[in-house]
Amino acid sequence: MQARNRWTDYELEQIIGNLLRAGVILAAFVVLVGGVFYLFQHGTGRPDYHTFHEPSSDMRSVKGVLRDALALHSRGIIQFGLLLLVLTPVSRVAFSALGFWAEGDRMYVVITLIVLAVLLFSLLGAK
């Protein structure tokens, strides 16, 4: 009996669907945990809507978000959950490229890598 080394389209779709589901659930859980922490830390305060408070510079970079999340700052945890949510479709595109490569669809590998490059450029490279 010959061993099968390529995925079928159905198997690839199932894996990608599970990847997306897991990414969204994980992101929602992290945001929920951050929201609960935020309410415990700031739930009794009164909001001031008359003055705009610019977010700290730590929240403008991935490094700063990770540092705040690891320090268990509630806003950092929420931002990390949102970062996971944004990275979920990016990971789907990256996994699709691997899946197309495993299936032997070279043309789709190239197209998917172009889409991945555009996504990464728009997320990381554009200022």
Q: How far apart are CA 112 and CA 115, in angstroms?
A: 5
What digits encode the pLDDT tens for the residues 6-53?
A: 667 788 888 889 999 999 999 999 999 999 999 998 878 787 777 877
110: pLDDT strictly greater than 80? yes
Contact yes or no for 81/28 (Cβ under 8 A): yes
Residue ranges covered by each domain of the chain: 10-41+57-125
Under the banding of pLDDT at 50, 70 and 90, the label for residue 1 is very low
pLDDT of 81: 96
pLDDT of 15: 87
Under the banding of pLDDT at 50, 70 and 90, the label for residue 77 is very high
In the block, tokens 């554009």 appear at: 126
Contact yes or no for 103/10 (Cβ under 8 A): no
Better pLDDT: 46 or 82: 82
Range name among 36-40, 55-59, 75-79 with the lowest pLDDT average: 55-59
105: pLDDT strictly greater than 90? no
Nearest to 78 by CA among 45, 123, 43, 32: 32
pLDDT of 4: 57
pLDDT of 97: 92
